[in-house]
Structure 1
Amino acid sequence: MEYKIITTIEDFTALKTDWQRMENQSHDVTIFSTFDYCYTWWEVYQHKPELKLWIIIVLHNNQIAGIAPFIIERRNYRLGLKIDVLRFIADGDYHDILINIDLNINPDSIFKDIFSIIEENGSSWDYLHLSHINYKSPFSNFLFKSKYNKHFTYLIESPYINLSLYDSFDSFSKINAPSKAKQYVSRLRNKINYELELNSTDIELFSQIHKKERDFLQNKGNLYRHSLYEDKNKVAFINELASLNKITSFSLISKEDNKLLIYNWGFIKDNIYYSVNTAFDPSYSEFSLGRVMYYEMLKLAKDKNLFSVMDTGTGRYPWKFEWTSDFNILYQIQIKKPRSFIHKSILNIKAIFFNK
């Protein structure tokens, strides 16, 4: 077994051609595991001292057979103890390991090699936490039947809407749309002359709307509601993706005063729209804007063939299931090294009591 562990951005950059070829070989690889997404994330976050690049490259006859896009993150644990967590790079609704299908190697053998490499380098990490793994992926299949099965557990659902099953939007909406969705659309049109704009992406404006929605929901008692735009690194990452034209956005705009009513942005890959973020202006909270937006988005997507499937993002919110009964199940694998925790705890206690 030959392998490399990539720890510098220069070596990361050199992976671009192979990585992009592999990401295009399989529909199992979502936008969140593509080179551009992961590389852009690392460009933004590489300055953080608690993060270390740790991409495993499995080689076969000097060719890349597999890429495991990992980082090691140092986190606070207990009593001042810090632990090193091995996890997927970037943040997203799905994560995966890339396999070079052209080499005709059984993916299971590559996954097995990756875990052997992880174990061989056990001194580099204390806790393995790989999350958001689609239950239908080859990686999941390997974990289900491997010795790691007991560590591989349910995490969350991600509902999706499959438009490809229907000849038209009307046939889809008659069966799947909430009973009053069309009524909500008509009510809003009677009050506001609006239009749906595609790719009028304005991250700063989206940020303002999202924070207004956060404040509105907090005032209604949802004290745990936060905004991703509060984090400057996340904003920088989103802006970088927007500058690369990776983001697809939908905006309902009032034609009279050009006000943004609601937006939804995400990514399209392999005819799937991955919805990442949405928010509405609380000034229009009476109009069920979320349902109107879904109705208009899905209608446009079907009419213009923008995408066949809309992945609504992780989370089992009731309003998502108003439109579909389909969902992906995401799993996670968690492995803690007890000896590592005990050793670090002892060193930490010694430091507290004897290094004064």
Structure 2
Amino acid sequence: MNTKIITDADGFLSIREDWERLAEQDPDATYYSTFEFNYSWWQTFGGDKNKELFILCHYRDNVMVAIAPLMIRVIDKKIVKCRVLSFLGKGDYFNFIIDSSKFKSSTIIRELMNTVEEHSGRWDKVELTHLRMDTQLLKYLMRHDRYSKHTEYLTSCARINSDDYCSYADFEKEMLSTKLRRKRVKLQDDTGYRFRVVTGSQSEDMYDKIAHIHQLEKKYLNEVKGRHERGSLFEDKNNEHFLKRLFKGNDKILFFYLESEDGEIIIYKCCYLYRNVLYGWNTGYSPKFSHYHGISDVLLMEMVESLFHSSCTKQIDFGAGTYSWKFRWTNRFSVSYSFIMWNESSQQSRLLRLLIQSREIVRAFKGLKNAL
């Protein structure tokens, strides 16, 4: 029984076969757990000098039975630097990847966390976020006498499951209003739209199409609607490199969109497909069709109806965020938590926490002064 720590890209690539095997065996795995997602992300963002791999690989009888896909990122606060141990990548669900067919998950997680603690000289804070409520990792943390107090509610993820209904008609009857259904009819009458689905392996230029639309939407919201806070992730060169690398030839990337009679994309939704679940990732619409209220509702209706005719997809996950519009579509949701633990023995950790507390006191004082 031993745990190996991978800190370089060559070591990362060398465990691909084991990683993919473990992800297939772990019922808690999501698309964000896959090797292709994490390795593509690291290929793009791993060149940052403030990021270092810290992947834990746990072995039993010389066979890898678990991976903790972690990294150490340095946050420079000018006065002090904070070394944060966190998950690789960016997404809505993160987890350790475990084969529990022969050994208890809790025993394996204990060994992984022991390794984290043994290397406390390398981090000032552990920050593990987006831990889904029904995973073995969260259960372990919640039951642990020391770790439980560092585990808190983070967000919720709404999800539609077609198995909850006998047919699309039953779903429509229970969840959709007459007003909502009329939007679909009106848009169809006015635009003659077609509902399309393509994968990353079927369309090499889909990235460029949705990037263009998303940036047009951002410009429209900034200049016409005055929503200057709205940005576009497609304007970031690193994101562009990451997404193009991930999308290329990837049949797990699905683009759902409405297309006008002239072949223009009205609105799109990009999803990751993994184990019959569509993980919603990004949506954008063409400002040309902004006068139609509810085009996003129409696209979702088409997507949900397609679930009932699909053999490979049964669920749509709306991703993290407790927005009311998500819960108008479903009664099903999961809760995610975060685990944040400071290193009590780290001088940098103590200094940073003191600075944070001082800032909070100043803010509270200003708030009290304004109230008076």
Same fold (TM over 0.5): yes
Residue 116 of structure 2 is aligned to residue 118 of structure 1: yes
For residues 241 and 82 of structure 1, do their structure 2 counterparts lie closer, same or farther at Cα, with a shift above 3 Å needed? Answer: same
Residue 213 of structure 2 is aligned to residue 209 of structure 1: yes
1:2-81 → structure 2 map (5 Å cutoff):
2-77=2-77, 79-81=78-80
Shift of 1:342: 4.0
- 1:10-33: CA deviation from partner (whole Å, max 9, x where unpaired): 111111111111111133100001
Q: Which amino acid aligns with 1:207?
A: A
Shift of 1:322: 1.5
Residue 315 of structure 2 is aligned to residue 316 of structure 1: no
Q: Which amino acid aligns with 1:145?
A: R
Shift of 1:244: 3.5
Residue 260 of structure 2 is aligned to residue 262 of structure 1: no
d(CA) in 2 for partners of 1:210, 1:121: 43
Aligned with 1:208: secondary structure? helix
Structure 2 contact 124–348 (Cα < 8 Å) conserved = no
Q: Which amino acid aligns with 1:154?
A: Y
Q: Name the stretch that deviates more: 164-173 or 107-116.
A: 164-173
- Number of residue pairs matched? 343
Q: Which amino acid aligns with 1:190?
A: D
Q: Aligned-residue CA RMSD in angstroms?
A: 1.7
Shift of 1:344: 8.4
Q: Which amino acid aligns with 1:266?
A: C
Aligned with 1:313: secondary structure? strand
d(CA) in 1 for partners of 2:127, 2:11: 24
1:68-217 → structure 2 map (5 Å cutoff):
68-77=68-77, 79-102=78-101, 104-146=102-144, 147-199=146-198, 202-217=206-221
Q: Name the stretch that deviates more: 246-255 or 129-138.
A: 246-255
Which residue does the alignment assign to 2:366? Answer: none
Shift of 1:194: 1.0
1:229-308 → structure 2 map (5 Å cutoff):
229-245=234-250, 246-255=252-261, 257-287=262-292, 288-308=294-314
For residues 88 and 82 of structure 1, do their structure 2 counterparts lie closer, same or farther at Cα, with a shift above 3 Å needed? Answer: same
Structure 1 contact 51–73 (Cα < 8 Å) conserved = yes
Q: Which amino acid aligns with 1:327?
A: F
Aligned with 1:95: secondary structure? coil
Structure 1 contact 4–57 (Cα < 8 Å) conserved = yes
Q: Which amino acid aligns with 1:142?
A: Y
Q: Which amino acid aligns with 2:236?
A: D
Structure 2 contact 268–284 (Cα < 8 Å) conserved = yes
Structure 1-normalised TM-score? 0.92
User: Percent identity over the alignment?
Assistant: 29
Q: Which runs of 5+ in 1 are unaligned?
A: 347-356
Structure 2 contact 81–348 (Cα < 8 Å) conserved = no
Q: Which runs of 5+ in 2 are unaligned?
A: 353-372
Aligned with 1:131: secondary structure? strand
Structure 2-normalised TM-score? 0.88
For residues 208 and 314 of structure 1, do their structure 2 counterparts lie closer, same or farther at Cα, with a shift above 3 Å needed? Answer: same
d(CA) in 1 for partners of 2:255, 2:312: 12
For residues 22 and 239 of structure 1, do their structure 2 counterparts lie closer, same or farther at Cα, with a shift above 3 Å needed? Answer: same
d(CA) in 2 for partners of 1:27, 1:248: 22
d(CA) in 2 for partners of 1:343, 1:318: 37
Shift of 1:48: 1.2
